[in-house]
Structure 1
């Protein structure tokens, strides 16, 4: 431990930890062998020596040594552990088990005990999960293999248990790892795969391509629609998912996209065509969130009457410039795709997050609820704020955490 804290020694170890030398992996194996031999000399179990070696490696480890842990896991799970189970199978004395009435009677009791000791503690899960999920979790956690087999092997070596009991314990392990997943599948129904809900960009001109690339940079699924085949081909050449679509005759494939869409951005060049597209999106396909570019400021009220959020370059350019002047950090946060922070809006429906103070919610990772929209009114959240079904919350945090929260809520 002392030498490991010397910067020069750490630097030498890091320099030697390249593809051919792998000095840290070699040192880990050397330490394991030393402790295994020491355990044998002292009359202790070899597994105890290996455990102590792992504890020392963990003690000496630094955050930059994470690759060493992955390398040791690969070697262990890929080589040593399979050999251990092969030897367990070789030593499995089924004949001794069949000849022992006591061991055969013991097997069903051990199976019941294996499930009971997991079912009782998981009752606390009922505080946050349904009865099906709670019982299913208890069944799945009842699967046990390596630990009890290792303990049984040690007991057999020490003469504490007989060959018949050892075989019975191995059979219990096999039964639990076989039955537990089957019970879980029967108790907890399979969750249907939720298809990704894309954002549809209507218009594959230069503005549409830029909008699509910005959305993709923020982790969104995007589908481009345009009636002009040349624009669709150009979008496809840039790696974007694009379809040729005419609002007068939509194919079943396009209708499926529109039925799944969570939002639409309409960026065609003419105000009238944009209005027709937005009207179909809102009234026929029920897309709640539709944003449209409106070149003619006089037509904005017409779009707003059908529930479309409008964007006019002449008006909104001034708003964006004022935002940059007043809150440059907020503008960067909303527009920059080159970092792992983002802002997103989520509509809350999950009952686990309803009617509960925000301070009691366990949100995934680094994330904050910065605003709540309820019935068109903006609510500034605090610790005692309780969410209701249909509330739209604005989340700020890391992109991966936001995606988890979006699925949970």
Structure 2
């Protein structure tokens, strides 16, 4: 036994360094690192070699790691996704949207978990069915999101539903656990009313923080102070977490709710911040504080309480069956939309439990709601589900084959069409020109691509041109009434992702923009081109192909192999480079630590061959990518 707390900290930090390396080398098994930390804690703790001497310093670091874990859980919430809702054309269409169905799944899950927990109470296995019901209702959002990302499902309707369901489960169980544990610990006192007060304060502060985050001067100051020794974003995140933990404890509320709400506030402020800020917070948490918490969970785990109690041994399979049953049955509501196989796969994934269930069991033990043996059983269930559930999901999930859109359609012909077709053909050879002029049609027969003659530009003509599978369309006709009809067909009936229209009459622009059409005004475009040639001559030469063997294009990232890896480790074909990244409404200047996301719009520069190869591999889901 050692009196120096640094000795205990040495054991934890050294093991925390080697565990990811060991787990990385395990063949064919993708286990969460925290499982290794818990197991290592068991080995060096009181159920193992008893090498750790508990101290106030170690207890504080573990509690801080616990709070930081809840802070990062709040940081994972996507409020835009959770609140995204629109009324459908029928009640069925409305209910099957992500938010309503996620709420129904959680309520059904909690009901089943409560029934199962009362059954366990009748068998004499537990004492508090309400807290056990909430514990069984948890889901690990921290596991659900990476698994969906690995399958390239985050942006799909299926992935969005599972993400919302996991987010609702995390937030609702955390809130209800706070209420129940506070009532159990302090009784039905006026302090219970302080929980809504905390939520009201959160709402007010969230609105204020969101408004402040949009002020350009403040954004500029924060950007300037986010480097070197200032690191203002990291300092702000830590101060935010501590303030909310102190506020929660002052109001007599569990610190987990305060830390969680602080993470949600940080998410609001970081909505348009560089990802590197969130990466730094993850690095600090998962690099030091959070491993200490999980090590201490393992170190204090009393396995002898299980071994010495036959009831505790029997409880393990009972809890495991309930853990899967309460998630699999409610997710059957998804069957009509996603089929049996993917519905079951979603149920398996939502059954994964890790951080929150361990935190909840620790709090339940602290107030005497469960015994040490039951806590040990819950942690073993967390270890099993967090290991097995992602593997079961990947095994059961069936990916539907998707039709990949490709090609450009140019509608309308004039003196610009042939030049446009030739220029675009250098980077996108699949060009179709739709012409209603006999003379233009004959002149364009020698141009690159496919030329189709049509008496009128209607749905039949667009269908013949391949609008159902086209990736983009340019509309050049000068009959603006007809142009609006074509754009409406393209965006609504054929759902073409990118539609560009040339329009000189400004009265038509609002209507076209409402359809999602990119509008080019000839006079303004000419003025911008002249200004560009004057102010940025080199860039203008590259964009106009005046510099040989240099091309600049934009592409959308679809290949998940390019995600989750810093740019400095990605090896693009040839001399291709990424100039800029557009994500949602934010333009990111790439750096070595920048991480790409699926759906990013990337501006590429390089030799035309290298650009073509890069675009091909980025647009191909599952394509290989080189790393350095």
Higher relative contact order (CA 8 A, sep 6+): 2
Length-normalised TM-score, structure 2:
0.33
Length-normalised TM-score, structure 1:
0.50
Larger Rg over CA atoms: 1
